[in-house]
Amino acid sequence: MEALNLFIKSIFIDNMVFAYFLGMCSYLAVSKTVKTSVGLGIAVTFVLLITVPVNYLLDTYVLKEGALVWLLGEDAASIDLSFLSFILFIALIASMTQIVEMVVERFTPALYAQLGIFLPLIAVNCAILGASLFMQQRAFPNVGHATVYGLGSGLGWMVAIVTLAAVREHLKYNKIPAPLKGLGITFILVGLMSMAFMGFMGIKL
């Protein structure tokens, strides 16, 4: 039940885009058509689903204060490596995207053809690193919760990009003041969507 609550919360209330502005660069650049944005959404969800739990394990068994006790015995209780977390998280994310890319290419060439160009870009998408840092900050009790959080944030990001792409496809036919065209109106649009998502605040299962 608690996990389901976390899942719903990470999709709608703590939405990566509307509440924390994560992954904005690719969000604005790729949301021109629904088809490509669905592809990128799936890729982001996929990578989040893998990196958040793996980084959770890294954090719990290597980085946290006293996390090395299982390896080095009681003497290690005072070792705190958490200042290294940025560099290790990003290295792990970069190598994970590399592995995911190879696995997808090997086993599902059709999906690879669709995602191909986006996968390498994902390593520098701040939604991925952001989810790992939020995971560390919120101190989830077990790896299951971390997995659910990763999946939920990915789906939330996907919902955001697909809806924006759908609106932008229709925007083409409207008359917009010249200085607002393109980027300006998109920002205001995302602001209004974010306001709508504020309506989910306070929902608790």
Nearer to other proteins, 83 or 107 (CB): 83
DSSP line for the chain: -HHHHHHHIIIIIT-TTTTT-TTHHHHHHHTTSHHHHHHHHHHHHHHHHHHHHHHHHHIIIIISTTTTHHHH-GGGGG---GGGHHHHHHHHHHHHHHHHHHHHHHH-HHHHHHHTTHHHHHTT-HHHHHHHHHHHHHT-SSHHHHHHHHHHHHHHHHHHHHHHHHHHHHHTTS---GGGTTHHHHHHHHHHHHHHHHTTTT---
Shortest reach from residue 187's CB to other proteins, in Å? 3
**Residue in 191, 199, 203, 205 binding other proteins, rule: CB under 8 A:** 191
Shortest reach from residue 194's CB to other proteins, in Å? 4
Asked if 62 is part of the footprint of other proteins (rule: CB under 8 A), the reply reads no
Nearer to other proteins, 1 or 37 (CB): 37
> Using CB under 8 A as the criterion, which residues of the chain lie in contact with other proteins when the complex forms?
18-25, 28-29, 83-87, 90-91, 94, 120, 123-126, 128-130, 133-134, 137, 177-188, 190-192, 194-195, 198
